Amino acid sequence: MCGRFAVTLPPDAMAQLFEAVPANDLPPVPNYNVCPTVQIHTILTDGAARRLTAMRWGFLPHWYKATNGGPLLINARAETIAEKPAFKAACRERRCLIPASGFYEWTKDEDGNRLPWYIQPSGEGPLVFAGVWQDWERDGEAHRTCAIVTCAANDHVSKIHHRMPVILSPEDWAKWLGEDGKGAASLMVPAAEGTLTFHRVDTAVNSNRASGEALIEPID
């Protein structure tokens, strides 16, 4: 799964990287502790242009009567996304890119304490997660919402966790967005070995209130 991540790329750099028109209400960066239900940066296409826009991280199916009207859907499993009622239409019609600098996963020690790890690219550039999105409106309250698509972890990441986000290479962005024909399903696979690295970080990040660059610094 992916339940927490970091983003440090400025919005103007995101707009340039993805050749997208930026919205005026984008979340502030850097954010080293992006948590579910907050607004995050996403890239989608409207058929004429790419848009860099904010969405609520936590997908809201249209039948939810309130934002807390069902389970918090921050991830969508690649293996079942095309069949799940919550996600199947979005998987076909509403896919997006979600940029990140890295993401967190946790292991446990022999006493059951949660030990955080920060996973980041081995090389240059940000990570780009595959996402799906959904507009939701009820009783005058409206949100554009999204979830991160996850898959089985590759061998390297599986040392920490059995799941990981689907990470898209630049040559796959257009296909995932539906700009380059069909075949997006073929992209929902683990990242190639050697493309990610990870290190232990301080347990401060276990709190969703923690902030600052120190959260991603390695510890012994």
User: Under a CB-based contact definition with an 8 Å cutoff, are residues 95 and 177 in contact?
Assistant: yes
Torsion of CA 206, 207, 209, 210, to 10 degrees: -40
Give yes or no: 146 in active site: no
Pairing of strands 50-57, 141-152: parallel
Give yes or no: 2 in active site: yes
**Given the residues 91, 96, 105, 151, the one annotated as active site:** 105
> Between the CA of residue 114 and those of 158, 160, 204, what are the distances in Å?
16, 12, 11
160: tokens are 């920490």
**Given the residues 2, 96, 146, 151, the one annotated as active site:** 2
Indicate which residues carry an active-site annotation: 2, 105
